[in-house]
Structure 1
């Protein structure tokens, strides 16, 4: 079984848009087929099939790592922007 990664990019109404970076494709599915706990930026393991893709599960390790990286970058940005450069 060949698996690849997809990231939940956004919701559009009752649909979820998952970006598959490896193939530069978008997978659009109904929200109901997403695994419990799915939210924006969740990373999925996807199975390639003849008629498209199936969500196998959430890649918890990569999702948590991406959250930590994002949080760290936000902390660095906040630390850089201590106050305004203009006099008050």
Structure 2
């Protein structure tokens, strides 16, 4: 399953696991190297406890491509500023 690094609260990182409607709270220093807000993790559940397996590189790349595509569409629709330049 997937989890998204949502925020930092003190020294803890909050990871949201959407498909389980759950939160995983771990110490920031236990996150995989390269983790930052919005990082997508592969998560495992064992005995009702969640564990970060690592950063999901494929999901990360797909999210970046989707964002780039959306920005390109927005830029293509842009008609410029409504304000006049002096």
Is this a same-fold pair by TM over 0.5? yes
Report the secondary structure of 1:74's partner residue. helix
Q: CA deviation at 1:52?
A: 1.7
Contact map agreement 1:41 1:63 (CA 8 A) in 2: no
CA distance in 1, matches of 2:3, 2:65: 18
Partner of 2:59: 62
Stretches of structure 1 lacking an aligned partner (at least 5 in a row) = none
Q: Aligned residues, how many?
A: 84
Misfit runs of 4+, over 6 Å: none
Report the secondary structure of 1:72's partner residue. helix
Q: CA deviation at 1:28?
A: 1.3
Cα offsets for 1:17-71 (capped at 9, x unmatched): 1110111111111111110011122111111022521101111011111111112
CA distance in 1, matches of 2:54, 2:14: 16
CA distance in 2, matches of 1:29, 1:80: 42
* Bigger helix fraction: 2
